[in-house]
Amino acid sequence: MGRTRRVAGPDMGVEVGGVRLPDPVMTAAGTSGYGAELAAYVDLSRLGAVVVKSLSAGPWAGNPAPRIHATPAGMINSVGLDNPGVEAWLEEYLNPLERAGARTVVSLWGRSLGEYARAAELLVRGLGAPGGSSVVAVEVNVSCPNLEERRGIFAHDPDMTAGVVAACVAELAPGGLPVWAKLSPNVTDLVPIVDAAMGAGASGVTLGNTLLGLVIDTEARRPLLGGGGGGLSGPAVRPVAVRNVFEVHARRPDVPIVGVGGVATGRDAVEYLMAGARAVQVGTASFADPRASTIVSDELTTWCETHGVGRVSEIIGAAHEH
């Protein structure tokens, strides 16, 4: 592969988790609204997909303020997954996304297996006939506490992860919707959890969510965020997430991976793809600039052009060749 040969109009299409996307760059759940909020700034149809803020079966109020706080090279949040619920989302937010020409990935969450299954069931019921909407996949946010069995975060345990994924797949697979399991980086070894998710029917994994963190308000002598601890995101977490992608791809090269954490430039996206991700999501960077996801996409395209890469999929896993 010539590194200085310029390639005109590289093919930016990728296959990831049972879906063909025209571009590997998506938004990340919870960082660009529920629907077409970003359409005022970017052409959503140019992105690989828009991933909506996580939805639960019913409405949920989330955590008390303050909910976000700037940290060195990132931010910490304890938004607490507030959302209007699947049915209200279908009524209010899906149409604007379809009018904007976006491919949509719906993110779901719950606090018990039953709540995850119910959210998936309501989605299937609301979407109607398979293939009749812009929804191309469902990303299941497994990083939620299991309130029913009080066994901690679902995504920290392979059996609980498998349970959530299987419950969602049972509802969504008949309608042809692939399920991506969005896993937590706050574990010692991701591979058994990836295996559990894939064994339960996931079509791919999203790696990963925020890192657990805490900021103290030293004047008030208490945790700064209303929810106590929070999740760290942004460039500060990128090397952690890139390593997770690299290690999962090294040990499970056939598992489709979506990489997320601190992507703010095209070069960051290249890093994830070379580590083994087939697509990337842009989260925190969108708070600084709502155009961030399309800027990343444009810079990635330019990188391919200037590095003689005719198809972006050529570089997936390239860092493993050495």
Beta strands 279-282; 25-27: pairing state? parallel
**Does residue 144 carry a catalytic annotation?**
yes
Contact status: 144 vs ligand FMN (CB under 6 A)? no
Taking CB under 6 A as the rule, does residue 284 contact ligand FMN?
yes
Q: How far is the CB of 261 from ligand FMN (least distance, A)?
A: 4
* Residue 265 makes contact with ligand FMN by CB under 6 A: no
Alpha-carbon distance 205 to 202, whole Å? 7
194 binds ligand FMN (CB under 6 A): no
H-state helical runs in 49-133: 86-92, 94-99, 113-127
Which segments of 189-268 are extended strands (E)? 204-207, 211-213, 216-217, 222-223, 230-233, 257-260
| CB-closest chain residue to ligand FMN | 30
Interface with ligand FMN, residue 237, by CB under 6 A:
yes
Give, in order, the Cα–Cα distances in Å from 163 to each of 85, 120, 167: 22, 14, 6
Distance CA(42)–CA(56), nearest Å, equals 27
Residue with tokens 């960082």: 31
What is each CA distance from 290 to 23, 41, 72, 126, in whole angstroms?
A: 18, 6, 20, 29
Out of 35, 48, 178, 234, which residue is the one contacting ligand FMN (CB under 6 A)?
234
Per-residue DSSP letter, 176: T
Read off the tokens for 119: 């959210």
Q: Which of 117, 144, 232, 241 is catalytic?
A: 144
What string marks each residue from 49 to 68 as x (binds ligand FMN by CB under 6 A) or -? ----xx-------------x
Among 283, 300, 301, 309, binds ligand FMN (CB under 6 A): 283
Q: Is 32 in the site for ligand FMN (CB under 6 A)?
A: no
Interaction between residue 259 and ligand FMN (CB under 6 A): no
Instruction: Based on the shown chain and the rule CB under 6 A, indicate whether residue 30 belongs to the binding site for ligand FMN.
Output: yes
- Choose one: 161-169, 220-228, 261-269, 302-310; the region binding ligand FMN (CB under 6 A): 261-269
- Binding footprint of ligand FMN on the chain (CB under 6 A): 28-31, 53-54, 68, 75, 77, 79, 81, 107, 141, 182, 209-210, 233-234, 237, 260-263, 282-284
Active-site positions read 144
